Amino acid sequence: MSFIISKIVWALLTPGSILLLILVLAWWLHGKRPTLSRGLLAIATLFIAALSLCPIGAWALRPLESQFPPVQLDQRRIDGIIVLGGALDAEATQRLALPVLNDAAERLTAFVALAKAHPEAKLVFSGGSGDPIRPELREADQVKQFFKEQGLPPDRVIFERDSRNTYENAVYSQKLVHPQAGQNWLLVTSAWHMPRAIGCFEKLGWKITPYPVDYRSNSHDHWASFLPEQQFDMLTTGAREWLGLLSYRLMGRID
């Protein structure tokens, strides 16, 4: 039930939904409360102007990404590598019958590179379906073709295909591999997603080394870029992650 509720809440609180609600209210109040209507339109206009003039998307992501700088691995043994799903467009992949990656593609490319560099490591891909409408589209089933094309034999990877969110990534992965004390495991996911992800694993008592990729706050990090679509995309990602951190903290899934 919490999974469905989280999807509904996020659909209502996404910056795009809030902006649409402001515009709808402004239109509805146009004849009844013209002053309030103009005020709402001014808020929407200022918000769009801010997206063009200020790097507010980068501001939303930087506090998340700065907690985990890029990692330089030493010569110590790597016992296992886990990559979290979210880098594959499941619906497009099904329709086109070929892997379609999204903005988080570095999760998969870094995982393949690490797998080749550490042939002794146990490999885990964790990702089911985060879509309550299309639960049959499981990312773990579709990513196998990508690994094969990149020279990583799918039979070398353990596929966790039941998780629907970050918390379940940690729970189901732990049940699959039963990590032992003293083992060195790497967790690969986007830098802005790492605070919530590492929190879930550590809450389960699994001490795992973060391997962040997919840094975004350094992109379009300057004033008057006049690229509102990029800033809006980063702001949406940041807002979702901050809301996720808050909800996970309230539910006791992270400390």
**Coil, helix or strand at residue 227:** coil
Same domain for 235 and 161: no
**pLDDT at 4 exceeding the cut of 80:** no
Residue 219 lies in a domain: no
Is the pLDDT higher at 3 or at 130?
A: 130
Confidence of residue 226 (pLDDT cuts 50, 70, 90): confident
Number of structural domains (the chain) is 2
| Phi, psi angle pair for 150, to nearest 5° | -90, 5
For the stretch 118-158, pLDDT in tens is: 999 999 999 998 887 888 899 999 999 999 999 999 999 99
Residue 25 lies in a domain: yes
Q: Which domain holds residue 102?
A: 80-213
What single string gives the DSSP state of each residue in 106-166?
HHHHHHHHHHHH-TTSEEEEE-----SS-TT--HHHHHHHHHHHTT--GGGEEEE----SH
- Please give the Cα distance from 123 to 47 (Å, whole number): 44
Residue 71 lies in a domain: no
Residue 23 lies in a domain: yes
Long-range contacts, 112-120 (Cβ 8 Å, 24+): 112/147, 112/150, 112/151, 112/152, 114/78, 114/81, 114/186, 114/188, 114/211, 115/81, 115/152, 115/156, 115/157, 116/151, 116/152, 118/78, 118/81, 120/77, 120/78, 120/79
| Alpha carbons within 13 A on the beta-carbon side of 59 | 9
Q: What is the mean pLDDT of residues 156-173?
A: 97
Same domain for 102 and 60: no
Give the closest residue to 201 by CA, choosing from 184, 187, 213.
187
Residue 220 lies in a domain: no
| pTM listed for this prediction | 0.92
- Please give the Cα distance from 187 to 148 (Å, whole number): 21
- pLDDT, residue 1, reads 59
Residue 72 lies in a domain: no
**Coil, helix or strand at residue 8:** helix
